Structure 1
């Protein structure tokens, strides 16, 4: 639901002209959160730029849920670097088709969330989770659970947006209550920096 900075600025101008306070609040929030769109675009560009210099068998490809917002930003970053990128879209009332930056031959549409998540996990080399809603949380905890229980191979899990994630989920409270182990906190990393996010993945795979 986070839009590009230029789109957010246009929404703000429109809201200011309308004089509608509720619209103005939404527009200001859009401007505030547009930075995540830019950061996702930058991160994907770093991955794509590196991978385009590798042998095809050694490349890492950007794969998103194929929708708008942060997903679009990541596909866009890869597309702008000239790299193939994947969109695993799902039919929803407000997301009917893949965004325009997905490589056309790699745009897929699913009906069931479970099958879509399975295809993500079958191929994922890493998960970078930007601020999102229920769907993002569903996918994040699916990966955390599979890696924690060793039902899936370990992969780097990066929570992008330190303040958002720490306000949203109190993992330390889970440790204190004994619902997870202290070592489970090592399954993921926080960051606000595209270079650091990519650095964590490179370090994991010794790229």
Structure 2
């Protein structure tokens, strides 16, 4: 008597039989953490290269600020938007698609002052970048980043790497813990010589000198006076631009 063919449904259904590229359980497992880091690097890198983005101006500030918010919020928002316009018009972001783009506005991609800077770039028809991060309370991208340059990261480390690796300058508007984190990340890279020289501008000197006692750091020997010279202050969008160019930023006007 001829035996009937033994069914192989169990083998076909086994997770081990899935192609690795389509196996979510495998890709999201512990052993693939390094691969996920690589994917987060490579996906954004490919899009940035396709758009010819050679360098950026990183802009950070509070996600909580609103265009018509109370106190100085409206002023901060308006100046961040104005700076996005100025930098995008004068810096080299306005080239034909496929050409080399310099000093492209790059933000954390969220609302508030990041939205304002991206919005300024959109006002003049320039592309801008949003490096979003997945958070427990989901952050959505603002509507002014260029769709093809709107990214989402799981790993803060890879997001920070992309923010830093093309940065020609850092402009920091008033903000809280997240803004301070990004400021000191790049400031430490500058202080230790781990990044090329790049200007760091803090917007609204009164705000920043209230939030951080830079002189106390010097007086207590935590930093040297020359370390604090890495920081410059500005109180208008035009002043930011002039401080940037006076401190080494090379403009590539279209």
Assess same fold via TM > 0.5.
Answer: yes
Distance across 1 between alignment mates of 2:250 and 2:93: 17
What's the offset of the Cα at 1:92?
2.0
Q: Structure 2 CA distance, aligned partners of 1:53 and 1:68?
A: 24
Pairing partner for 1:161 from 179, 186, 204: 204
CA distance 1:147–1:125, shift in 2 (3 Å): same
Change over 3 Å in CA distance of 1:118–1:46 after alignment to 2: same
State the partner residue of 2:66.
3
The 8 Å contact of residues 199 and 249 in structure 2, kept in 1 or not, is answered as no
The answer as to whether partners of 1:158 and 1:188 remain within 8 angstroms in 2 is: yes
Unaligned runs of 5+ in 1: 9-29
Note the C-alpha offset of 1:59: 2.5
Residue 73 in structure 1 maps to residue 116 in structure 2: yes
- The correspondence for 2:178, drawn from 110, 125, 135, is 135
C-alpha distance after superposition, 1:9-34 (max 9, x if no partner)? xxxxxxxxxxxxxxxxxxxxx35312
For residue 105 of structure 1, report the CA deviation from its aligned partner. Answer: 0.3
Flag the structure with larger Rg: 2
Q: Which is further off, 151-160 or 94-103?
A: 94-103
Contact 1:66 / 1:107 at 8 angstroms: preserved in 2? Answer: yes
Does structure 1 residue 59 correspond to structure 2 residue 99?
Answer: no
Q: Calculate the TM-score normalised by the size of structure 1.
A: 0.84
Shift of 1:120: 0.5
- Which structure features the higher share of helix residues? 1
TM-score (norm 2): 0.69
Write out the 4+ residue segments of structure 1 that deviate beyond 6 Å after TM superposition: none
Alignment of 1:44-193 (within 5 A): 44-50=84-90, 51-52=92-93, 56-57=99-100, 59-193=102-236
- Seen in structure 2, the aligned counterparts of structure 1 residues 182 and 155 have a Cα distance that, compared at 3 Å, is same
What is the number of residues matched between the two proteins? 184
The answer for unaligned runs of 5 or more in structure 2 is 1-63
